Amino acid sequence: MPQELEDLGVSFVLQMGFACDVCRRNFLRKADLERHMLTHTGDRPHTCPHCNFACNRSSNLYRHIRSTHPSFMVLHPSHIDPTIGPPLPTPGHRHLQSS
């Protein structure tokens, strides 16, 4: 590791992170390690509803649908993959409640 990085404490940060047991790659956040582990397990939990494409990240599925099936695009990726979460309300739109 270059001395400049060691002076900044990067080696300390890497030692305190989360290491992959398979390839020893280090991550600062546990969630990043968990996502990385999908590359070793081969899990592809995100599947395209329009073809047999499957991937390990929801962002890759969104990109696939946007580029391969543009006629099926909707306003928010949560309509494609429910694990992303609901869309946030846009400013100026208020939901009216009936009394």
Q: Residue 53 has what pLDDT?
A: 96
Q: Which domains does the chain have, with CATH numbers?
A: 1-43 (3.30.160), 44-80 (no CATH)
Computed over its alpha carbons, how large is the radius of gyration of the chain?
Answer: 20
Contact 36, 57 (CB under 8 A): no
Which residues neighbour 70 within 8 Å (Cβ) at sequence distance 6 or greater? none
Give the three-state DSSP class for 54: strand
Q: For each of the chain's 99 residues, which pLDDT tens digit applies? A: 555 555 555 555 556 688 999 998 999 999 999 889 988 998 999 999 999 999 998 899 999 998 998 887 765 555 556 566 655 555 554 544 444
The pTM (predicted TM-score) of the whole model is 0.52
For residue 63, the surrounding DSSP H or E stretch is helix 58-68
Which residues neighbour 39 within 8 Å (Cβ) at sequence distance 6 or greater? 56
